[in-house]
Amino acid sequence: MSDNRALRRSHVLANHILQSTPLASNLSLTREVCLQYSPPELNENYGFDVKEMRKLLDGHNVVDRDWIYGLMMQSNLFNRKERGGKIFVSPDYNQTMEQQREITMKRIWYLLENGVFKGWLTETGPEAELRKLALLEVCGIYDHSVSIKVGVHFFLWGNAVKFFGTKRHHEKWLKNTEDYVVKGCFAMTELGHGSNVRGIETLTTYDPTTEEFVITTPCESAQKYWIGGAANHATHTIVFSQLHINGTNQGVHAFIAQIRDQDGNICPNIRIADCGHKIGLNGVDNGRIWFDNLRIPRENLLNAVADVSSDGKYVSSIKDPDQRFGAFMAPLTSGRVTIASSAIYSAKVGLAIAIRYSLSRRAFSVTANGPEVLLLDYPSHQRRLLPLLAKTYAMSFAANELKMIYVKRTPETNKAIHVVSSGFKAVLTWHNMHTLQECREAVGGQGVKTENLVGQLKGEFDVQTTFEGDNNVLMQQVSKALFAEYVSCKKRNKPFKGLGLEHLNSPRPVLPTQLTSSTLRCSQFQTNVFCLRERDLLERFTSEVAQLQGRGESREFSFLLSHQLAEDLGKAFTEKAILQTILDAEAKLPAGSVKDVLGLVRSMYALISLEEDPSLLRYGYLSQDNVGDVRREVSKLCGELRPHALALVTSFGIPDSFLSPIAFNWVEANAWSSV
């Protein structure tokens, strides 16, 4: 039966072919263009100076940023390719994991040879640090793997040597690190412990007969895990370990250990395994490390905080173990600073691509036989992208402010930097993931294509929400710090000073019951409602913890039970701090179009943040009618920001080559001639 059916089908096909009209001999295969790409610049006007806006957004080192952009575009190492008449540079994510790792290292060598890393560890001062941060940010715009691998080497390994070490370490390691004679990694995370650094299980003892430390991995959960650079390239590592001296655990300390020789051979008493393929960042060779009674010289203890004498005596100027641990953790803030800023540049890439695409791609008609409508002319599409654009702007100013307080840090500001960087790192990385997902959906099926970046970037940047501190844990740390400050000031009857809590010294703001458009856009109203929310949540949080303690619960367990209020408070604190940074930037501007547009962006940031927060209704800060007013105003702002959409993403200053084909002539990029 099946043979007969196949025979009948073959007859039908043969007859169809024989009876078909023959092709004309002069038939041209040139395509008829039904839909043509029209560059947004032909129809969109710049209502303000995009160069001035870019200076505001980047904040610093614009010339240095453009220089490294140019370096990357000049070299074939950065995978130059032509699409739709334009040259693009982006990683080839179709390469194997091994290929991605090797090309990442080659790109780093290229940047090294061209002087990108000059002075990164040997020059000091705010200007040198800001330049380093700017260049790292551009590395991350090109490829997160490059920036992470560079960041581990300089900001984790290098900064650990610089800040945990003393003169003997600086002289031996810093210049060699800057020149990549030494390739460093950073072994803190373990299989069994990530955010809880105090609980790590790697064990170090001291042998006074040989004046050596002995590092041991006592159990499988103590293996160092996710160590960037360890699987292939790193020659040395910073080892975080419990230090036991004469039977007493002195807590977590940092040591330098060599894990490979200069030929790349793994050293004796070291075992290294690969963490394997990941959902992103496959250009980074994450590895696992076991130490089998590894002996290192006494001088390899990074001893800025504590030391061990040759005869085995433990000495430290900081007697309190908690303060000593805090001293070890304080210099690591740089990781959260760079992650927060990197997340915002990733969101900028996604938005620049999605918004440019929406200004040239059309779909459906609103009238019979009428022209198809640009995606961004649909109110629903504006609602998807323009609030995220406003948030990205506000968070750009927040990231810049975080960098400024970091490079100008003093011992007195370390606490504030820890709290602010924790909140910003969490909120900005969450925002990036939300933005990339919305951008991926907003460009439709094109977002699934790797070369169009927005879908790929989700996997590349997802890890930011958990490394350098799980975001939920960081937000709890923010709330605990606010709790401690509140209780301390109340107990001592002192005015609030620092952490942006000065508003608690003033009377409680009273919000108007009727919210007009002008009221909602008023900076004072926005400040008042953000301050009221933070004040009320802080009071509720401290009251709930006190009630639980009054019932016999410990403070720590009371914090755990109050986690929902803690999360709301952490978010309220961070969003208020972000609002303040864009208000400060706006206040410094002279009257004009840049200031006017930034005012619209600031109002959009403030109102969309309020609209998205259920606590406004939950705790009665706004009525149901008020919340409706906020929602309608957001929609109005979408319409007012729509004419500025192209100018706002152009102000990001990201060269066309670092975006993707669908941001430009997506018809030509997909034409048969490009196959």
User: Annotated active-site positions, please?
Assistant: 468
CA torsion 256→258→243→409, rounded to 10°? 20
Determine the residue type at 574: T
d(CA 399, CA 581): 9
- CA of 574: how far to CAs of 346, 522, 567, 578, in Å? 20, 20, 11, 6
End-to-end CA distance of the chain, in Å? 43
- Apex 465 CA angle, 464 and 467, nearest 5: 60
Determine the residue type at 356: R
d(CA 335, CA 330): 11
Closest CA to 200 of 210, 211, 189, 209: 189
d(CA 29, CA 3): 39
Residue 432 near residue 457, CB atoms below 8 Å: no
Closest CA to 64 of 144, 122, 119: 119
465 appears as a binding residue in the annotation = no
d(CA 339, CA 64): 20
CA 362 to chain centre: 32
Token digits for 262?
Answer: 């200069």
228 appears as a binding residue in the annotation = yes
Q: How many CA atoms lie within 13 A of 596 on its CB side?
A: 9
Count of CB atoms situated within 10 Å of the CB of 148 = 29
d(CA 498, CA 575): 16
Residue 216 near residue 171, CB atoms below 8 Å: no
Q: In b/e form, how buried is each residue of 399-430, taking b as 16+ CB within 10 angstroms?
A: bbbbbeebbebeeeebbebbbbbbbbbbbbbb
**H helical segments located in 330-378:** 333-358
DSSP 69: H
d(CA 9, CA 13): 6
Q: What is the DSSP string of 260-294?
A: B-TTSPBPTTEEEEE----SS-TTS-EEEEEESSE
Q: Indicate the annotated binding residues for FAD.
A: 189, 228
